Amino acid sequence: MRRAVILALVVFLYVGSGFLSAGALAKAVSRTYIGFGRTVGAQQQQPRISGGNGTFYIGGYPNLIWILDEATEKVSGTIQLKTGIPRRLTLSRDRSRFYIIDAGQEKVEVVDVASKTTLDTFTLTEGTNRIRINSLEPDPTHSYAILLTRSGTKLRDRVEVGPATLQQYDLKAHKVMRTIPWPDGEERDNANLMFSPDGKLLYFLGNEILIFETEKFTQVDKWDLSNLEEGLGQVSISFGGFAGLDNTYDEPGFVTTTLTVEDPVQHRRMMGIARINLAKKDLEFYTIGPSAPVSFALAPDRKHGYGLESSIDRYQFWTFDLDQRRVTTRAEFAGRPRMSLKTSSNGRLLYIYNAGNTIDMYDSSTYKYLRSITLDGDVTTQFYVVPRARP
Amino acid sequence: MHTRLAWIVSGLALSVLPLVAAPQPPTTTTAPLVAQPPPPTTTAPAPEQNRRAATENPDEGIPVTDPDVRRACGGCHVADDKNRMTRISYRRATPENWELTIRRMISLNHAVLTPEVARKVIKSLSDSNGLAPEEARPAMFEPERRLIDYTYAADKDLNTLCSGCHSMGRVISERRTKDEWVGLMTMHRYFYPGIDGASGGFRQGGPPGGGRGRGRGGDGRGGEGRGDTRQPYEKAQEHFATTFPLTSPEWAAWSAAMRTPRLAGRWAFAGYQRGKGPIYGELTIADRSDVPDGFTTDGKFTYTKTGETFTRKSRAIVYTGFQWRGRSADAPDDPGTWREVAFIERNGQEIKGRWFTGPYDETGIDVTLRRLASDPVVSGTDVMSLKASASGQRVRIYGANLPARAAATDIDFGQGVKVARVVTSASDVLTVDVDVAADARIGPRDLSVGGSTKSSALAIYTKIDGIRVEPQAGMARLGGAAYPKRTEQFEARAFSNGPDGKANTPDDIDLGLVNPLWTVEEYTATFRDDDIRFVGQLNESGLFMPNIDGPNPNRSGNRNNVGDVWVVASYLPPGSEPSTKPLRARAHLLVTVPLYLDWSYREVGR
């Protein structure tokens, strides 16, 4: 009651003095009264920045995939897995299924995203012949998958480990359709694989992109990216970060990523951006500055990219302007020793995850820490941010 | 408290579970288990494998004739017509490495052995397929559980490759044929999924067009030795086969000369415990009739710094004729709180090693035993240094068979040091007052009593020039909640710059323990380093007590209380002016997480 009397007196004096208009007075009174009645936090006075209306998928301990609504930042559901701790999560290109490799690398689980149910599980391990699956790429029709495997056989008094093998695996019949010979007969331990949108070609992504047709998996072409232009120097292109390639925001058939190049004269290492058109076997690239250990995440507008530099006590966000071909800002932030970066579905937030049970959110324009989502267990896989509509 | 203790005990028990908790059929010491059938899922060894192992070098391979080993291992390891068992005959190792293997056979390969049989197998294989003294000595830090900064200098790539997961000491405690080194590396690749990739570095990926990974083992395709296209694990097995082969002149000589050591009798004990100083005493070793190469000990010891006296009994087994492994046995139900690992010198007159205890074996005494007859033996003194130009400095001389009525003339510290008075004398300790002349030459001095001489028993100095902190690189582990704490004991030692007047040169003189003021400072590895607030406390004796394990909600990122700090000692020498700036020295302390899976060997001393 006393507050109301004081308020009336203040209003009378201000109106009498002519300092405030009637409209401004009304707003001032409103704010002041609210201020008297209850505390208003500074955050509530500023509009809450939302990351968009997409959906998060992230695998974690002990055996599930969390599904979160990006707008509310709440867990909207979980997918319980039958194969244990998920380690590698691959979202099919049509975004209808997840292919999950377990922590032991011996079991694969296929999950239907819409119904959140397990469609299938399989393993190639039989008895004492253990087959580990290092990576997996499903074909666009979900009829088969390309598996990178290595066998280990336990004999009576010893074990034997076989070579890394690339196999075409029939997802319906549950059998190996063929073993695909390594290009040039040279065994590889890792492979970033990608099908063309129509599924007719399979790309081995590396400094040298190898192109296979998918009828008999014979190599039909080869594209050496390590020597793009005479005088430029040796180029090295990075594909995939934590747990593989995620090109959710790329156009189908495109990959945008970073490259490093060491010029042949000064021997300086520079960093650049490459946008690779796999279908046309074309590449657009440019250098942007000295080389740094920066991981790259494309923004959904494809005009920007964000970088994460992480070395001992040097955690930086970077922003790349892909139209202007330059780094626009860099700033340190209080990160964590092991972390990975994702961009929100509207590009306004940056998500930091990995090695822990939180997803930390930062304003992509100011790099200011905003808030965190805390999950019920540690994250063990790749983190997908799936926009409601394709960008 | 009881809950915590239970967790600690459970953790320790789990570490030895494979042996002690194996299925227990009725056991006797004379009737071990019958031969174990092979695991049902395994297949018979391919004949060509046996042939390959046997024919690669027809002369290689150590016959295994012990019926206990043949029964326990023969289900999987087939013997040829020369009694050479697959795998086993092509390998030599320390008792600890044999124990690790047997535990792996039990836990992963379903071998069923009682603890009694397992111990017999370890003993037998350590004797028949062990290391020679010359081979074992460089690796003694491993069974002695010393925390040292060891680098395998012969190949730093291999050092990195192996020590990313375990001590290099485990590697250099092995001898194998080429096939066996290949088999060992293959076993690693079979059991550990990530070892081929960046987390293990066994392989380096592949050519372009599939993503090349660079592991920790160095690039097998370039850099040092450019042009070498072998994978890191392939280079490793080549190196090991050449450097640590099955057959060696040392083993040939020792295996022929090896015998049951004759150790029964009295031994003079000289020890040193970091932070607590010298320990002297006497130990009696007796034969143990019920265990081959078994012994018992009974000793009495004194910490010279505090005068504290303690007694201790133990039981021990000697492996390979020279490797002493024992445990304390002060009472019938003593679980063996203290362990003993020592090396019996070939002359049979001296035994050196480490006695240790603690959840991580972190508390230890460096031990030297010297065989006693009837002659006097000087073990050492309570002080490590005497100041020049000072009179009436008291020294206690510890030993055995010392003259009961010693005269000053019986005791000789060298020129410039005069024994002014024998205060007391007994057979195990003499107390004397000495005067040191102003012109006494500085440096280490031998001490002679009744014909027995202890070299470098103490040192003469004129001035304390500085102090040093030991260890230079300490480590503690968080604990107290789910896991036990690993403490770290620091000590400060004074030194004189020696005749050249310069610090950190070979003629520096160690003057012994001092009591400094201990503090902790931030080791600013990062700009916002705050480890000092969380890692734990250093007490006035230099003992660091780490903080509790587990996530700390009061720390950013919910981090554990891990970190690294400087441990700083400040010391004002006696007689200094109050305005004198104290001497300072520091050491690095890493405070890390508990050892969540402890695979240490603890059976060989039972």
Cross-chain residue pair A161–B45, CB shorter than 8 Å: no
With a CB cutoff of 8 Å and minimum separation 6, the contacts of A124 are A106, A131, A133, A147, A149, A169, A176
Q: pLDDT band at A45, cuts 50/70/90?
A: low
Cross-chain residue pair A155–B42, CB shorter than 8 Å: yes
Q: Is residue B597 part of a domain?
A: no
- Model pLDDT, residue B601: 66
Q: At what angle do helices B95-108 and B115-128 cross, to 10 degrees?
A: 140
Report the side by side order of strands in the sheet with A269-277: A234-237, A254-262, A269-277, A282-290
- Model pLDDT, residue B340: 97
B557 within 8 A of B565, measured Cβ to Cβ: no
Cross-chain residue pair B525–A183, CB shorter than 8 Å: no
Counting the structural domains of chain A, the total is 2
A123 within 8 A of A181, measured Cβ to Cβ: no
The number of C-beta contacts closer than 8 angstroms across A and B is: 114
Q: Is residue A391 part of a domain?
A: no
Closest C-alpha among A361, A296, A274, A378 to residue A58? A378
Q: Does residue A25 sit in the same domain as residue A119?
A: no
| Maximum separation of any 2 CA atoms in chain B, in Å | 87
What 3-state class would DSSP assign to A177? Answer: strand
What mean pLDDT is reported for chain A? Answer: 85
Q: Does residue A150 sit in the same domain as residue A229?
A: yes
Q: Which residue has the tokens 């060491």?
A: A262
A309 within 8 A of A315, measured Cβ to Cβ: yes
Q: pLDDT band at A201, cuts 50/70/90?
A: very high
Q: Does residue A34 sit in the same domain as residue A58?
A: no
Q: Is residue B359 part of a domain?
A: yes
- Residues of chain B positioned with their CB less than 8 A from the CB of A154: 41-42, 190
Residue A8 has pLDDT above 60, yes or no: no
Q: Cis (ω within 30 of 0) for the bond into B471?
A: yes
Q: Does residue B12 sit in the same domain as residue B148?
A: yes
Q: Is residue B24 part of a domain?
A: yes
| Residue B188: alpha-carbon gap to chain centroid | 25
Residue A213 has pLDDT above 60, yes or no: yes
Question: For residue A279, what is the domain's CATH number?
Answer: 2.130.10.10
Per-residue pLDDT, averaged over A119-142, amounts to 94
Domain boundaries, position B275: 265-370
Residues pairing with B81 in the sheet: none
With a CB cutoff of 8 Å and minimum separation 6, the contacts of A151 are A129, A130, A131, A132, A161, A162, A165
Cα separation, B587 vs B508, in Å, equals 19
- Model pLDDT, residue B202: 92
Closest C-alpha among B103, B166, B141 to residue B341? B141
Q: Does residue A344 sit in the same domain as residue A360?
A: yes
Q: Which residue has the tokens 């599930």?
A: A64
**Residue B322: C-alpha distances to residues A20, A263, B306 (Å):** 98, 61, 34
Domain boundaries, position A343: 47-386
Cross-chain residue pair A207–B209, CB shorter than 8 Å: yes
Counting the structural domains of chain B, the total is 4
Closest C-alpha among A149, A166, A163, A282 to residue A219? A166
Q: Does residue A30 sit in the same domain as residue A51?
A: no
Cα separation, B113 vs A117, in Å, equals 45
Q: Does residue B583 sit in the same domain as residue B556?
A: yes
Q: Does residue A71 sit in the same domain as residue A166?
A: yes
Q: Is residue A331 part of a domain?
A: yes
Nearest-by-Cβ selection for B207 from A157, A164, A188? A188
**Is A204 at the interface with chain B, CB within 8 A?**
yes
Q: Does residue B478 sit in the same domain as residue B450?
A: no
Q: Does residue B146 sit in the same domain as residue B26?
A: yes
Q: Is residue B600 part of a domain?
A: no
Q: Is residue B599 part of a domain?
A: no
Q: Is residue B604 part of a domain?
A: no
Q: How many residues belong to chain A?
A: 391
Q: Does residue A64 sit in the same domain as residue A209?
A: yes
pLDDT in tens, A271-315: 999 999 988 888 889 999 999 889 899 999 999 999 999 887 789
**Is A205 at the interface with chain B, CB within 8 A?**
yes
CB-based burial of residue B132 (10 Å sphere; 0-12 exposed, 13-18 middle, 19+ buried)? buried
Nearest-by-Cβ selection for B41 from A104, A128, A210? A128
Q: Does residue B474 sit in the same domain as residue B578?
A: yes
Cα separation, B85 vs B65, in Å, equals 9
B513 within 8 A of B277, measured Cβ to Cβ: yes
- Model pLDDT, residue A314: 83
B87 within 8 A of B75, measured Cβ to Cβ: no
Q: Could you tell me where the DSSP H helices lie in B129-167?
A: 133-136, 156-163
Helix, strand, coil abundance in chain A, percent, nearest 5: 10, 50, 40
Taking the alpha carbons of B183, B185, B186, B192 in that order, is the dihedral positive or negative?
positive
Q: Does residue B326 sit in the same domain as residue B231?
A: no
**Is A24 at the interface with chain B, CB within 8 A?**
no
Nearest-by-Cβ selection for B211 from A156, A160, A191? A191
Q: Does residue A213 sit in the same domain as residue A257?
A: yes
Q: Does residue B415 sit in the same domain as residue B541?
A: no
Closest C-alpha among B447, B437, B359, B444 to residue B402? B447
Q: What is the mean pLDDT of each run of 10 residues along chain B (606 residues)?
A: 38 33 30 34 38 53 97 96 97 97 92 94 97 98 94 93 93 97 96 83 68 34 56 94 97 94 97 97 96 95 95 96 94 85 96 96 97 96 96 97 94 96 96 97 95 95 96 97 97 95 94 97 87 98 97 88 97 91 97 87 64
Q: Does residue B415 sit in the same domain as residue B509?
A: no
- Model pLDDT, residue B352: 98
Nearest-by-Cβ selection for B211 from A186, A206, A224? A206
| Domain's final residue, options B335, B370, B405 | B370
Q: Is residue A150 part of a domain?
A: yes
CA-nearest residue of chain B to A127? Answer: B41
Site from A147, A150, A153, A157 to mutate, B interface, most B CB atoms within 10 angstroms: A157
Question: For residue B457, what is the domain's CATH number?
Answer: 2.60.40.10
- Residues of chain B positioned with their CB less than 8 A from the CB of A191: 210-211
| H helix or E strand, kind and range, residue A270 | strand A269-277
Q: Is residue A362 part of a domain?
A: yes
Q: Does residue B16 sit in the same domain as residue B161?
A: yes
Cross-chain residue pair A189–B206, CB shorter than 8 Å: yes
| Residue B142: alpha-carbon gap to chain centroid | 5
Question: For residue B339, what is the domain's CATH number?
Answer: 2.40.128.120
Give the side-chain half-sphere CA count within 13 A for A134. 25
Q: pLDDT band at A30, cuts 50/70/90?
A: very low
Q: Does residue B361 sit in the same domain as residue B429?
A: no
Q: Does residue B32 sit in the same domain as residue B157?
A: yes
Give the side-chain half-sphere CA count within 13 A for B182. 10
Q: Is residue A31 part of a domain?
A: yes
**Residue B421: C-alpha distances to residues A381, B382, B394, B411, B432 (Å):** 77, 17, 9, 10, 6
* Torsion of Cα atoms, A182 then A184 then A188 then A190, to 10°: -80
Q: Which residue has the tokens 């830090």?
A: B141
Q: Which contacts (CB < 8 Å, 24+ apart) does range B145-148 have?
A: B145/B339, B145/B341, B145/B354, B145/B356, B145/B361, B145/B364, B145/B600, B146/B354, B146/B364, B147/B362, B147/B471, B147/B475
User: Two tokens at A298?
Assistant: 């494309």
Across B173-273, where does the E strand assignment appear? 174-176, 265-273
- Model pLDDT, residue B421: 96
With a CB cutoff of 8 Å and minimum separation 6, the contacts of B494 are B385, B464, B466, B467, B511, B512, B513, B514, B571, B573, B583
Q: Is residue A313 part of a domain?
A: yes
- Model pLDDT, residue A167: 95
Q: Does residue A35 sit in the same domain as residue A53?
A: no
Give the side-chain half-sphere CA count within 13 A for B37. 3
What 3-state class would DSSP assign to A35? Answer: helix
Q: Is residue A21 part of a domain?
A: yes
| H helix or E strand, kind and range, residue A32 | helix A22-37
Residue A83 has pLDDT above 90, yes or no: yes
B90 within 8 A of B101, measured Cβ to Cβ: no
User: Two tokens at B41?
Assistant: 């899922």
| Domain's final residue, options B252, B273, B296 | B252
Site from B41, B43, B105 to mutate, A interface, most A CB atoms within 10 angstroms: B43
What 3-state class would DSSP assign to B456? Answer: strand
Cα separation, B2 vs B198, in Å, equals 42
Cα separation, B191 vs B46, in Å, equals 21
B317 within 8 A of B291, measured Cβ to Cβ: yes
Amino acid of residue A270: M
- Model pLDDT, residue B602: 66
Q: What angle do CA B92, B93, B96 make, to 5 degrees?
A: 155
Q: Does residue A142 sit in the same domain as residue A249?
A: yes
CB-based burial of residue B146 (10 Å sphere; 0-12 exposed, 13-18 middle, 19+ buried)? middle
Q: Does residue B86 sit in the same domain as residue B141?
A: yes
Interface of chain B toward chain A, CB-CB under 8 angstroms: 38, 41-46, 49, 76-78, 86-87, 183, 186-187, 189-191, 193, 196-197, 203-213, 525-529, 556-558
Q: Is residue B181 part of a domain?
A: yes
Q: Does residue A147 sit in the same domain as residue A26?
A: no
Q: How many residues belong to chain B?
A: 606
Cross-chain residue pair B212–A204, CB shorter than 8 Å: no
- Residues of chain B positioned with their CB less than 8 A from the CB of A155: 42-43, 45-46, 49
Cα separation, B306 vs B280, in Å, equals 12
Determine what percent of chain A is predicted with pLDDT higher than 70: 86
Q: Is residue B83 part of a domain?
A: yes
Q: Does residue A323 sit in the same domain as residue A221?
A: yes
Nearest-by-Cβ selection for B190 from A161, A205, A312? A161
Residues of chain A numbered 157-196 and touching chain B (CB < 8 Å) = 157-161, 164, 182-184, 186-192
| Domain's final residue, options B231, B252, B273 | B252
Cα separation, A302 vs A384, in Å, equals 17
What 3-state class would DSSP assign to B196? Answer: helix
Q: Distance (Å) from the C-alpha of residue B229 to the closest C-alpha of chain A?
A: 12
Query: Distance between the two ends of chain B, CA-based, in angstroms?
Result: 29
| H helix or E strand, kind and range, residue A97 | strand A97-102
Cα separation, B434 vs B429, in Å, equals 16
